[in-house]
Amino acid sequence: MQAMSEMNAVSRISQSPQGPGRLGAGENPAKRDQILDGAKKVFAANGFDGASMNDITKAAGVSKGTIYVYFNNKEELFAGLIHRERERIFDAVGSILVDTKPLQDVLFDFGMMFGRHMSNADTVRSLRMVLGVIDDMPEVANMFLNCGPTKGAHQLKDYLATRVDKGELVLEDPLLAARQFADLCTAGLFKPCLFNERVQPDDAEIEKTVRSAIRVFMKAYAA
């Protein structure tokens, strides 16, 4: 009868009155993904306001009614999309190496990952999309942002702190240093991409930027 926010769809499965093998309304994950795939295309191309539910309907290949079974309204559909994208990115970021390799190798790996991520055309489009609704749907926006641009620096901060403890680095403010390194890795990449002043850079340019970032960072903070 009533649809529910995707937030708690999973927990509801067990309450479904249908027999085994029969999926309840709004509980088919494949259909859900099909909807989100369509929504992603349309939202990315047109922004939140510019995207019409009709377009999403066509892009997803499902009927209007079906979308409203899975998501109560456009806003929750968008939230569901962001939530899914977040998970994907989170996995990527989560599996980063902050471990036993030499410091400069770790910085390089992190830098390349971060540089690639923040200048990726897809990511940039998503960021713009989210920035467009940041005032109207702050929790949705934060859900997305806390794992991407922000998460990176925070994870790095913890890593840098351990290196300070080990005497490899000398710095007073690990969070600031982490942010500095992160921003150095996207110097000339992130802002121009966000502002549409340039296209997505290739790996060579990212590497050049990251290597320069490491050089600057190490001259400033190496023990």
Partner DNA sequence: AATGAATGAGAGTTCATTCAT
Partner DNA sequence: TATGAATGAACTCTCATTCAT
| Dihedral of alpha carbons 66, 72, 74, 80, sign | negative
DSSP assignments along 135-166, one per residue: TT-HHHHHHHHTTTHHHHHHHHHHHHHHHHHT
Q: Answer with the entry of DNA, its own copies, none that 69 interacts with (C-beta below 5 to 8 A by kind).
A: DNA
DSSP, collapsed to helix, strand or coil, labels residue 222 as: strand
Residues 8-47: x where in contact with its own copies by CB under 8 A, - otherwise, as a string: -------------------------------------xxx
- Asked if residues 35 and 9 have their Cβ atoms less than 8 Å apart, the reply is no
Q: Which residues contact 122 (CB under 8 A, 6 or more apart)?
A: 44
How far is Cα 164 from Cα 156, in angstroms, rounded to an integer? 12
Q: Answer with the entry of its own copies, DNA, none that 183 interacts with (C-beta below 5 to 8 A by kind).
A: its own copies
Closest to DNA by CB, 130 vs 184, is 130
Residue 57 found at the interface with its own copies (CB under 8 A): no
DSSP, collapsed to helix, strand or coil, labels residue 172 as: coil
Minimum Å gap between C-beta 154 and its own copies is 11
Residue 194 found at the interface with its own copies (CB under 8 A): yes
Q: Count the Cβ atoms, other than its own, within 10 Å of residue 53.
A: 16
Binding-site member from 75, 109, 168, 183 for its own copies (CB under 8 A): 183
Residue 135 found at the interface with its own copies (CB under 8 A): yes
Q: What residues line the site for its own copies (CB under 8 A)?
A: 45-50, 128, 131-136, 138, 141-142, 145-146, 149-150, 153, 173, 175-176, 179-180, 182-184, 186-188, 191-192, 194-197, 209, 212-213, 215-217, 219-221
